[in-house]
Structure 1
Amino acid sequence: MSDTSPSQNKDAYQLILDAIDSHIYKPGDRLVESDLAERFGVSRTPIREALQRLETQSLLTRDGRSLIVASLDHTQMAELYVVRGELEGLAARLAARHATPEEIRVLRDMVTADRNLLGDPGAMSRANKRFHKQIHLASHNRFLVQQLDLVHRSMALLATTSLAAEGRGEDALAEHEAIVRAIENSDGDAADKALREHISKAFVTRLKLDAAEVEKNG
């Protein structure tokens, strides 16, 4: 059995989802029921149910009889970023209205701590997800949080992080700082604008990365 041992409070669905989110399983990778059961130390029945659920959510797709991690084409990626920008902007606007002083302090501490992660795209990507999740929670709107969870689940299907681009980490932290400052000032318009611009710049960076990859492989 693998050295990977599941947390007792996590079910098979969450374990597989986390593995996709952390790119242990990447777009195009085949997921085999028996292999997953061994890796996570759970029986095959919950693994089978989890795979069916992930397929229903379009995170997995069929390749013949096999299930593989889905990938997003250019159009799907563009659609995802449009929705993400709208919802994230709304979350920032609501956070500017509803965030407690403690929540703002957590956001500011995150920006400060994340400067130590520059140069490590994987760590920066994980920290970026934590930062955005904290803004979602600070919106104090459970329905918005649920929708953003769905959007970020689909973001796991992007093979690379835009933070891997040279200089993007420093720029992203400056953008995070502007978002926190607007929330701290209770300026909903500025928070909305800052977060939308942050998402837009991340999308542009990702498009450039994808174009470079196509050129390299072409």
Structure 2
Amino acid sequence: MAQIAQKDAHALILDAIDRGDFRPGDRLVESELADRFGVSRTPVREALQRLETQSVLVRDGRSLIVATLSHDQMAELYAVRTELEALAARLAAQHAAREEIRVLRRMVNEDEAFLGDARALSQANRRFHRQIHLASHNRYLVQQLGMVHRTMALMATTSLAAEGRGETALGEHLAIVDAIEARDGEAAAEALRQHLSEAFETRLREEALRE
């Protein structure tokens, strides 16, 4: 039972970070987390220790705070993410069922409703990319991409908050779906690479403006 509780506490904290409930730099307090999630403090303490070893949390004196990615870490993460996601898109073009492709296209259409709401659009974006991962039908790739996307949550902002980026990103999503539906693996991989290149460039530009 304790092992299940530990796993649940770890997942609950990660999900909260992924949703943006906890942002980079936020201090996580054991007692507050236990009350929030309705679990005892022991599994929360163990989950916090595990998240620290995974570099999701870092020490600030005696406190644990949500980690913030440095410029170099962000560049390294995008490099890995781009190649893994390009592979997922290529495999999806080969293996995705017709139903999966229709779901991807419906997601792009429905996500237009979130334009103007950066947080909602960011969550929709994660769902879209996750669907591509699943459509690759490669469990090991899905696992690795899950780890990468958990780390993406440590970025303080979303590139989709930049003016005009939401509309452009949805157009890029549509190009990826078109290539997958055409069963053109190379085109799907290239469309995915271009999409993430644009996202990375937008993020770098926004960070430069804030300095």
TM range (shorter): over 0.9
* Separation (CA, whole Å) in 1 of partners of 2:186 and 2:25: 40
- Aligned position for 1:178: 175
* Separation (CA, whole Å) in 1 of partners of 2:42 and 2:72: 35
| Alignment match of 2:24 (pick from 17, 24, 27) | 27
* Separation (CA, whole Å) in 2 of partners of 1:111 and 1:26: 27
Q: Which moved more, 1:120-129 or 1:22-31?
A: 22-31
* Separation (CA, whole Å) in 2 of partners of 1:154 and 1:212: 23
* Separation (CA, whole Å) in 2 of partners of 1:173 and 1:120: 14
Identity percentage of aligned residues: 72
Shift of 1:193: 0.1
Matched, 1:120 2:113: no
* Separation (CA, whole Å) in 2 of partners of 1:192 and 1:99: 14
Instruction: Please give the TM-score of this superposition, normalised by the length of structure 1.
Output: 0.93
* Separation (CA, whole Å) in 1 of partners of 2:208 and 2:159: 13
| Alignment match of 2:12 (pick from 11, 15, 22) | 15
- Aligned position for 2:140: 143
- Aligned position for 1:133: 130
Q: Where in structure 1 do 4 or more consecutive aligned residues deviate above 4 Å? A: none
Counterpart of 1:11 in 2: which secondary structure? helix
Shift of 1:64: 1.7
Matched, 1:210 2:207: yes
Structure 1: 5+ residue stretches without partners: 1-7
Structure 2: 5+ residue stretches without partners: none
Q: C-alpha deviations, 1:130-176, integer Å up to 9, x for none?
A: 00000000000000000000000000000111000000000000000
The residue type equivalent to 1:38 in the other structure is: D
Instruction: Please give the TM-score of this superposition, normalised by the length of structure 2.
Output: 0.96
* Separation (CA, whole Å) in 1 of partners of 2:66 and 2:76: 19
* Separation (CA, whole Å) in 2 of partners of 1:88 and 1:115: 22
| Alignment match of 2:194 (pick from 192, 197, 214) | 197
| Alignment match of 1:100 (pick from 97, 100, 104) | 97
Q: C-alpha deviations, 1:104-147, integer Å up to 9, x for none?
A: 00001001101111111111001000000000000000000000
Q: C-alpha deviations, 1:25-48, integer Å up to 9, x for none?
A: 111111110111111111001101
* Separation (CA, whole Å) in 2 of partners of 1:170 and 1:20: 25
* Separation (CA, whole Å) in 2 of partners of 1:136 and 1:112: 19
Q: What is the aligned residue count?
A: 206
Shift of 1:12: 0.8
**What is the root-mean-square deviation in Å for CA atoms of aligned residues?**
1.1
The residue type equivalent to 1:186 in the other structure is: R
Counterpart of 1:68 in 2: which secondary structure? strand
- Aligned position for 1:43: 40
Counterpart of 1:26 in 2: which secondary structure? coil
* Separation (CA, whole Å) in 2 of partners of 1:101 and 1:28: 43
